[in-house]
Amino acid sequence: MLGVSNFLYLCSFLQDILFSHRESLIVSNSWELYQSILEACVDKRCSIVRSCLQNISQRNKNLLSPMQARQNGSVSSGQRKLINMLDSIAMPYNIDEIWGKCRSLEVEEDQLVRCLCQWATTSLRVGRHRIYIVAGLLGCARRSGISVQDHMKGFLEGFGSNVKGSKDDAYLLVSELVRSKTFSVALYMKWLISRGILSEYTITRVCVCSSFFLF
């Protein structure tokens, strides 16, 4: 059994995690099991603690809903394995090794690119490291013969409507892909012009998802 001093130390440690490393408490699969334990160990009289607990609880619930949907068959088992694998990446990482794991999963090329981009830009996870990991993986994909340029169009078209995510993270991801020559701005502009999106923006001043980072 824990002594009083050890228990107090544990409570202080958990409260520090709650304040400074909240992402460590995003455990949607087992949140219901640990929620009451966490709440018993922190000072719920503090408004900041209550706010942090509410934030973590909501984020875990937001993650659990898509996971339940996937269990009902809306997302392939390959995609589930891909997301779980990405979530389990530890630092330091080997990008070639991670890419090898990605390719071993039964995921279509377009779904693979889209899933990687969604994981990099989702607001349900934290850490800019996701962007650089995915930029590296998409570079591997391009070198493997996958048309990242074409598959990125599908992701950008649905971003903000079909896919909820961080606009800043999406901008940074595209910037990294351009820098590594994995994504071509010239080809993308040509595609936008061919669809009349830029002229539509000029007339209506409404920025559609697929061109938001150009303005």
pLDDT computed for residue 145 by the predictor: 95
Give the domain-ending residue among 50, 71, 92. Answer: 71
Q: What is the pLDDT of residues 39-60, one digit of tens each?
A: 888 888 888 888 888 888 887 7
On whether both 103 and 202 belong to a single domain, the answer is yes
CA distances from 54 to 11, 60, 62, 102 (A): 18, 10, 12, 34
On whether both 140 and 165 belong to a single domain, the answer is yes
Question: What total of structural domains would you count in the chain?
Answer: 2
Query: pTM for this one?
Result: 0.64
Domain span holding position 52? 4-71
On whether both 98 and 165 belong to a single domain, the answer is yes
Q: Is the pLDDT of residue 207 over 50?
A: no
On whether both 132 and 169 belong to a single domain, the answer is yes
On whether both 161 and 207 belong to a single domain, the answer is yes
On whether both 26 and 123 belong to a single domain, the answer is no
On whether both 64 and 81 belong to a single domain, the answer is no
Residues 118, 151 contacting (CB under 8 angstroms): no
On whether both 124 and 185 belong to a single domain, the answer is yes
Q: Kind and range of the H or E element at 77?
A: helix 77-87
Give the domain-ending residue among 71, 86, 111. Answer: 71
pLDDT band at 205 (very low <50, low <70, confident <90, very high): very low
pLDDT band at 198 (very low <50, low <70, confident <90, very high): low
